[in-house]
A and B are shown apart, each in its own frame.
Chain A
Amino acid sequence: MNRSGLPALAGLLAVVSGAAVAELVAALLGRPQAGTVVAVGAVLVDAAPTPVKELAVATLGTADKPVLLGGIAVVLAVLAAGLGVVAFRDRVAGLAGVAVLGLVGVAAAVTRPAAELVDALPSLVGALAIAGALLVLLRRLPAAAIERKRLWVHSTHRKPLSVHVDRASAAAAEGSGDRRTGHPGPDDLAAPPDEAAGGAVDRRAFLGAAALVAAGAAATGGVAALLGRSATSTRVRESVRLPAPTEPAPPLPAGVEPGFVTANPDFYRVDTALIVPRVDLDSWRLTIDGMVGSPAELSFAELLDRPLVERVVTLNCVSNEVGGPYIGTARWLGVPLAPLLREAGVRPGADQLLARSVDGMTIGTPMAAVFDGREPLLCVGMNGEPLPPEHGFPVRMLTPGLYGYVGACKWLGELKATTFADVDAYWVERGWAPQGTVKTASRIDTPAPFASLTPGPVPIAGVAWAQGRGIRAVELRVDDGAWQQATLLPVPSVDTWVQWRYPWPATPGSHTLSVRATDGTGAVQPEQRVDPFPDGATGWHTITVSVG
């Protein structure tokens, strides 16, 4: 191992153990979001500038998050190795570096929305652990003796034993070249006969300490992970028994085909949560405040005591591109929101209902949409089970007819009556439109783009949606031909997508298939291509297939 190798290893081990300690402290505090790596990652996500959001929001899907955390880990590892090397040369500079790392973590953790002062603790304790581990490891580092050796040469104050070991290890680290050539350096003249063995012993001491630190870090990280897991919502969620709805959803109409309801694991996820917020049901409260006559606080049990209705509703993301996948339909179980807010007494002038998640995300819904009869819900169940953690356990909002970014706050903790003039919600701050009514859209699901088909009858199928207005017609066009009416399958309400079918007599050649929908008001889906930013994409979904 070269001269930088062992110090770099020391730095790496020190930082890994520090990070593990930080995670353990965060887990013990019951605030995993305050773990240094996670907090820094969350800051990075939010720091992305608005122009990028158009790209980013579409893909803040599940896969990106582990990648981001991995990326931070990689940068941290490189930094850690450097830190070891620096500290090896200059303890003070090294410790200053540790302090900077710790402060970055503290700054990230305490500036998160909904942060508490204790969130600084994991990074602080983590930094102390790094410093401790670094000093312990470097002290045992054979090459570290170089400086001390030089001191010894010019001084006689050192104790013989430590001189002996330090000298020997210095020779082991530095003097091997001399030994190889058979020309001992001047210092070697005074070397004790067992210097090589001394060096080996010292290196062994370092590696032993390194192994101990590594094992400690692994154990700490393991305990942190265990603590984290045992307390995740999954476990809590399993204990939840949802009451039966007072008003169950009627069975889906006959003729609806498979795929109408999206299974929970297949339901899209677009959010900014790096780690799925973990909610302790016992301490969870829904706060209703702001411009209301009587602010209220409800426990989960109190919420479940209210009448529960079940509705089949389609939810989609504003960042969905034409033909994109961020849409799904589920059977939601929830508490109607409007009566709850009527009890609280929303004051005149409050035109925005600002929902805040337990991790600080804000989503602003037009107050008008709450009371216009569309029946927004505080959902506790999804497709017959408690909300999955990644879909907002224990409670999420759902506003039929609005894109999720203005109507479907997950991990709900607070509802505040306010005004659009006073508060910009998270995405609005980032340039997305404050009003997000779902645009009429349609999608071809089969055949797949570029499919190779055989001539003859080919079933073309897909979905169309305009929640709140419903779909009156879907038309399909092959190449430059006339628009043909597709068959619409039945729907339970105007708040879901509709499945459509068109039997196409396919002829050989390359063909372009386009689809467009007409909503319940008679408005035809616009042909003009518009990007998702700032208020939803438009355009006719068009795919190419080859027959022959």
Chain B
Amino acid sequence: MRALKLASFAAAALCTVSLSACGGGAAPAAAPVPAAAPMAAPSMAPSGSAVAAGGEFGAGCAAVPTDASNPGSFAAMAKVPVATAASGNPALSTLVTAVRKANLVDSLNSAKGITVFAPANTAFEKIPSATLSGVLTDNDQLTKVLTYHVVAGRLSPDQLAGTHKTLEGQDLTVAGSGTAFTVNGSSSVVCGNVQTENATVYIVDTVLMPNG
């Protein structure tokens, strides 16, 4: 029975696909760009619930656009380097602004294999606005904070728990397992294991602060 459900689901996905191919691109919503990296299957399955081959997890992932033609979708993000990927995702716009301000776009894009703990906009909203604008105007401080969110190497979910040295120099600690992780005790991973061309991203709900 389950096979039948899956099949009709996939059939529905495939039908939309072939329609768009024959319909001269009139239906971009169905365009799969399945050249998408590690998630060809979900990019073809609009609701993404039946086939979770992409490996993203967490409640926050529900906010990510499923339409592969949207630059903020998992499929689109997997094909571009991390700073470019983040700039396609409206939920990360504050982070993107901060990264641009700190001149870290190229560094993040051309780094080879990193893990980024990406604070969502809601994470920045938790910071008192005076503090936030202070950090945003002090490039050294901003660089310190942002590089504290980056770890060399791509951490898969099963490598995530533990202590990791950040590019800022200080360590951060991840606790948890399965699909529930907390960074430095208070910042929860709301959408994890998001793949970009050169980085694995864990979206967190609280900005991480290095000491000093």
Which A residues fall within an 8 A CB radius of B? 4-5, 8, 41, 43-52, 54-56, 58-60, 63-65, 67-68, 70-72, 74-75, 78-79, 81-83, 85-86, 104, 107-108, 111, 321-324, 448-450, 510, 512, 514, 529, 541-544, 546
Contacts of B11 in A (CB 8 A): 79, 82
Query: Which of B90-98, B102-110, B176-184, B204-212 is near enough to bind chain A?
Result: B102-110
Query: Is A81's CB under 8 angstroms from B6's CB?
Result: yes
Within 8 Å of chain A (Cβ to Cβ): is B188? no
B15 CB, nearest partner CB in chain A, Å:
9
Q: Which residue of A lies closest to B29 (CB)?
A: A49
Cα(A52)–Cα(B14), bound, Å: 19
Contacts of B22 in A (CB 8 A): 107, 111
Q: Which residue of A lies closest to B110 (CB)?
A: A323
Residues facing A in B14-43 (CB within 8 A) are 14, 17-18, 20-22, 25, 28, 31-38, 40-41, 43
Q: Which residue of A lies closest to B85 (CB)?
A: A55
Within 8 Å of chain A (Cβ to Cβ): is B84? yes
Would you call the interface of chain A mostly helix, strand, loop, or mixed? Answer: helix
Query: Which of B74-82, B124-132, B155-163 is near enough to bind chain A?
Result: B74-82
Query: Is A82's CB under 8 angstroms from B20's CB?
Result: no
Cα(A45)–Cα(B43), bound, Å: 13
Query: Is B104's CB under 8 angstroms from A48's CB?
Result: no
- Can you report 26 residue pairs joining A to B where beta carbons are below 8 Å apart? A4-B2, A41-B34, A48-B31, A48-B32, A49-B25, A51-B71, A56-B33, A58-B79, A68-B34, A68-B36, A68-B40, A70-B40, A71-B40, A74-B41, A75-B14, A82-B6, A104-B14, A107-B18, A321-B109, A448-B112, A449-B110, A450-B114, A510-B143, A512-B103, A543-B107, A544-B103
Which B residues fall within an 8 A CB radius of A? 1-4, 6-11, 13-14, 17-18, 20-22, 25, 28, 31-38, 40-41, 43-44, 51, 53, 68-69, 71, 76, 79-81, 84, 88, 102-112, 114, 140, 143-144, 147, 150, 152, 167, 169, 197
Q: Which residue of A lies closest to B40 (CB)?
A: A71
Contacts of A81 in B (CB 8 A): 3, 6-7
Query: Is B107's CB under 8 angstroms from A449's CB?
Result: yes
Query: Is B34's CB under 8 angstroms from A4's CB?
Result: no
Contacts of A546 in B (CB 8 A): 147, 167, 169
Cα(A449)–Cα(B76), bound, Å: 24
New A-B contacts (10) at CB < 8 Å, excluding given A74-B53, A448-B111, A449-B110: A47-B21, A59-B37, A64-B37, A79-B11, A81-B6, A450-B111, A450-B147, A450-B152, A544-B102, A546-B169
Cα(A45)–Cα(B53), bound, Å: 20
Query: Is A82's CB under 8 angstroms from B69's CB?
Result: no
Query: Is B103's CB under 8 angstroms from A4's CB?
Result: no
Query: Is A55's CB under 8 angstroms from B76's CB?
Result: yes
Cα(A50)–Cα(B169), bound, Å: 42
Contacts of A71 in B (CB 8 A): 34, 36, 40-41, 43-44
Contacts of B2 in A (CB 8 A): 4
Q: Which 5 A-B pairs have the closest CB atoms?
A: A82-B7, A71-B40, A449-B107, A49-B28, A59-B79
A113 CB, nearest partner CB in chain B, Å:
14
Q: Which residue of B lies closest to A53 (CB)?
A: B33
Contacts of A542 in B (CB 8 A): 103, 105-107
Query: Is B33's CB under 8 angstroms from A48's CB?
Result: yes
A148 CB, nearest partner CB in chain B, Å:
22
Cα(A47)–Cα(B14), bound, Å: 13
